[in-house]
């Protein structure tokens, strides 16, 4: 078909002009570059704040000093509630559980030094009969001796502080492992757990019976409040 002196083939395919292709590529490049710059802007301009954290791991029942602490930059939204915000929240306090380098410190994991005159002792415990087995370092517990089911349990210590819970190989037991160990405790002839406790000096003589080889009469009762 000839229109205005030119042949027109309506059935043939048409290619996209090169300038259009270049414009599309340029537009995509601009979009990607803009997205990268925007992400970089968000990462570098989000609101930040400082929180006080341990400069190194602090052992349980250590007195916290200024040299044990450092500042850490975190996004404002990453500040955990109930944690130390300034050095005075921690300096001069006693760590009731191990505090880890760089981690924000919950205030219930430290205590007043004047109120924490304790001695540390490790004893075998019956995990299956102790507070459901769900303990965390820093928990406040009462210590009982319950050798047989026919004899009422006798309290050996009140308001002891649990520093660490370990298995017979000395490996720390974390809460999500304790449920499995409860079944082992019920079936095994020996208790699978050793509790490291901080007790009042006057209670040490009573609690040491739990350190005897093969002893598994010590039972811990977790307290919800002092």
pLDDT of residue 71: 96
**Pick from 184, 185, 175: nearest CA to 138:** 175
- Same domain, yes or no, for 103 and 128? no
For residue 152, the model assigns a pLDDT of 66
**Predicted confidence (pLDDT) at residue 5 exceeds the cutoff of 70:** no
Domain for residue 34, yes or no?
A: no
- 3-state SS, one letter per residue, for 123-146: EEECHHHCHHHCCCCCCEEEEEEC
- Backbone Cα Rg of the chain: 32
Confidence of residue 226 (pLDDT cuts 50, 70, 90): low
HSE value, Cβ hemisphere, 13 Å, CA-based, for 127: 29
CATH of the domain at 105: 3.90.1210.10
Whether 103 and 157 share a structural domain: no
Residue 103 structure tokens: 């981690």
What is the pLDDT averaged over residues 173-187?
Answer: 51
Q: How many domains does the chain have?
A: 2
Is residue 71 a part of any domain in this protein?
yes
- Are 63 and 158 found together in one domain? no
Q: Quick check: 137 pLDDT over 60?
A: yes
Domain co-membership, 106 together with 136: no
Residue pair 172/98 in contact by the 8 Å Cβ criterion? no
At residue 124's C-alpha, the angle toward residues 123 and 126, to 5°, is 130
**All residues at 6 or more sequence positions from 43 whose CB lies less than 8 Å from its CB, including other chains:** none
Mean pLDDT, residues 55-59: 91
> Is 60 exceeded by the pLDDT of residue 50?
yes
pLDDT digits (tens, 9 = 90+) for 79-121: 999 999 999 999 988 887 789 999 999 988 887 765 557 888 8
Residue 37 lies in a domain: no
Shared domain for 128 and 193, answered yes or no, is yes
pTM above 0.85, yes or no: no
Do 74 and 54 sit in the same domain of this protein?
yes
Domain end position, chosen among 113, 140, 169: 113
- Residue 102: which domain range? 48-113
Q: Do 148 and 82 fall within a single domain? A: no
| Any domain includes 15 | no
Question: Bridge-partner residues for 111, per DSSP?
Answer: 94
Pair 109, 128 in one domain: no
Task: Based on the fold, state whether residues 127 and 216 are members of the same structural domain.
Answer: yes
Instruction: Check whether 178 has a pLDDT greater than 70.
Output: no
């Amino acid at each position: 078909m000839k229109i205005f002196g030119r042949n027109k083939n309506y059935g043939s395919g048409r290619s996209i002009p090169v300038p259009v292709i270049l414009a599309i590529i340029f537009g995509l490049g601009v979009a990607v570059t803009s997205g990268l710059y925007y992400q970089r802007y968000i990462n570098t301009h989000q609101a930040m704040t400082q929180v006080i954290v341990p400069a190194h791991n602090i052992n349980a029942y250590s007195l916290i000093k200024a040299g044990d602490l450092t500042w850490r930059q975190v996004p404002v939204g990453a500040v955990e509630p109930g944690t130390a915000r300034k050095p005075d929240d921690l300096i001069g306090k006693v760590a009731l559980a191990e505090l880890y380098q760089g981690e924000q410190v919950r205030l219930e994991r430290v205590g007043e030094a004047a109120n924490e005159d304790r001695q540390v002792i490790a004893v075998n415990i019956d995990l299956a009969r102790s507070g459901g087995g769900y303990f965390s370092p820093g928990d406040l517990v009462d210590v009982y001796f319950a050798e047989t089911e026919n004899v009422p349990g006798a309290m050996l210590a009140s308001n002891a502080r649990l520093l660490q819970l370990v298995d017979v190989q000395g490996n720390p037991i974390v809460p999500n492992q304790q449920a499995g160990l409860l079944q082992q405790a019920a079936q095994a002839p020996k208790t699978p757990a050793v509790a490291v406790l901080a007790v009042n000096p006057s209670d040490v003589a009573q609690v040491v019976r739990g350190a005897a080889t093969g002893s598994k009469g010590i039972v811990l009762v977790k307290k919800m409040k002092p």
